[in-house]
Chains A and B, each alone.
Chain A
Amino acid sequence: MKKNWLSYPYLVWVLLFIFLPLLLVLFYSVTTRTEDGIRFTFEHFQRFMEPIYLRVLLRSVKLALISTVICLLLGYPMAMILAGNGFKRKQIMVFLFVVPMWMNFLLRTYAWMTLLERKGLLNTFLSWLGLAPLNLLYTEEAVVLGMVYNFLPFMVLPIYSVLSKIDKSLIEAAEDLGADGVTVFRKVIFPLSLPGVLSGITMVFMPAVTTFVISRLLGGGQFTLIGNLIEQQFLLVGDWNFGSAISMVMMLVILLSIGVMSKYEKENEGSGLF
């Protein structure tokens, strides 16, 4: 059955709305407009190397890394619990884990604003205990909390899906050969779950490093991340060339992490997420 032409509208669409726009980003990132026309240049990338911008990049990577580590520490035990046989209503438990993932992340972030703000529920609770109110909102910790809250399911689900596919006889064999619980985990379960861990790490790290909403709402604009920098360049400053250059750097970071991940990822693993 030869029906290739059916995909032509899509191919045109891809070319127009995916390929061409990315080409434009590339074009803007390596050119500059002067009086006598457009000139090829690397100055925008050089500008990004200035300490003030590098600090933004560093802060983004730092906050994203901290969030990723917290997600891993919180999420791995949870994934193990979900993958274990202990619970009757396992499917519902997994579904409950998916629901917040599909909820608008603006709402999830906003929910924390109401909790953390000066007159919010947490501070009301503190004063009820007779304690002084704290400045919770608009801090770096609030941004990290927002990231962990938003992206925790992205860590748990890939690890869960790998863990639940592990052949139980491998664990039994290790136990028969005299390994204790810790050894079984260290030598059998954890190494086998690595693909899930890696895909979880990328799925948390990538949106965390590119977000501009969480830092704007929970950081109050004091903690500029790379996403905020891009947003500002395009919507406030109007420097498309510099904004494009930063976007190119960001895409490079993402592509590299995907490349590293896909090297370890075997077919179909973690693909049930979308």
Chain B
Amino acid sequence: MTRFLKKSYAALIYLFLYAPILILLVFSFNASKSRGIWAGFTLKWYLELFQDRQIMKALYNTVIIAVLSSAIATVIGTAAAIGIHNMKKLKRKIVMNLTYIPVVNPDIVTGLSLMLLFIFTNFRLGFISLLLAHITFNIPYVILSVLPKLKQLDKNLYEAALDLGATPLYAYRKVILPEIMPGVITGLLLAFTLSIDDFVISFFTTGSGVSTLSIIVYSMARRGINPKINALSTLLFITVLLLLVIVNIRTSGEHRKKE
């Protein structure tokens, strides 16, 4: 009896979580523009989506910014994590506290503070400012993914490599980097997902003419419902879901290896 109750409660919660998303996905294939009625299957909204130049431009921006910002953040973040790992305790604590600022600060504050910086320094708001903002909020997540791997690392490995005649750079490339690679890749994927997903910070740090998909979704949704957003949402949802499954399989695979 209690088991039945538990099961139905869980089912209700999952229904609450997933029903709106599923309805959104289903109605992106609805031929009728009015939402209440199902008028048959169509791909017309997807076609319209791909013919919409503004949306295609935004898709291009979103992908390019996600690729560039996650790649740059991974390089800076991985180097930073190695540096932080070797710091003395007090210094490490200070740097880590700074690292947590963008993680705990409300997105709106991160976004507008960056906007203030760009305007204050007469930096033109647009693609570059957007990219810089994305790198900024991505780096902490890379650091937080790499640091645990560095902690697991056997210190003697590096020294052994040096004793065997490797230069420090060679030792890093051939010994340390392969060991922390899983953390680096996880950080990269995490940064990529976060960049694709971001709205608030992009909203504040972009300039006229440059928009990302989430900015388009927001400005369209503000004017009401539009089946094109449903189609766009469906595509975004599937992308994020795929990325998430990949990350999850990676991390659970690592756990299994450890056991």
Contacts and interface: CB of A to CB of B under 8 A. Distances in A.
Interface of A: 1-11, 13-14, 17-22, 24-25, 28, 74, 77-78, 81-82, 84, 86, 91, 93, 95-100, 102-115, 117, 119-121, 123-124, 149, 152-153, 206-207, 210, 212-213, 216-217, 227, 230-231, 234-235, 240, 243-244, 247, 250-251, 254, 258, 274
B61 to A, nearest CB: 16
B136 interface: yes
Given A18-B136, A24-B120, A227-B108, 13 more contacts: A5-B83, A7-B81, A14-B98, A104-B233, A111-B24, A120-B36, A149-B16, A210-B107, A213-B199, A217-B222, A243-B112, A258-B104, A274-B103
A250 B217 contact: no
Contacts of B14: 96
A108 B21 contact: yes
B217 A1 contact: no
Nearest to A77: B9
A103 B240 contact: yes
A91 B248 CA distance: 11
B113 A93 contact: no
Given A110-B217, A213-B200, A6 B36 contact: no
A86 B3 contact: yes
Interface string B100-120: 011111111110111111001
B112 A230 contact: yes
SS class, residues of chain B in contact with chain A: helix
Contacts of B53: none
A216 to B, nearest CB: 7
Nearest to A16: B117
A40 to B, nearest CB: 18
Contacts of A234: 112, 115, 204
B101 A9 contact: no
A7 B36 contact: no
A84 B6 CA distance: 10
Contacts of A74: 13
B160 interface: no
B103 to A, nearest CB: 7
B211 interface: no
Interface string B1-29: 00100100110011011101101100100
B106 A206 contact: yes
Given A1-B86, A21-B114, A81-B10, A113 B225 contact: yes
Interface size, B (range): 35 or more
Contacts of B185: none
Contact of A114 (B81, B139, B199, B225): B225
B197 A102 contact: yes
Given A8-B83, A110-B229, A121-B35, A20 B106 contact: no
Contacts of B248: 95
A93 B23 contact: no
A112 B197 CA distance: 18
A206 B230 CA distance: 28
Given A18-B98, A110-B229, A121-B36, A100 B104 contact: no
A123 B37 CA distance: 11
Contact of B27 (A91, A114, A123): A114
Given A81-B10, A100-B18, A206-B106, A14 B87 contact: no
A25 B13 contact: no
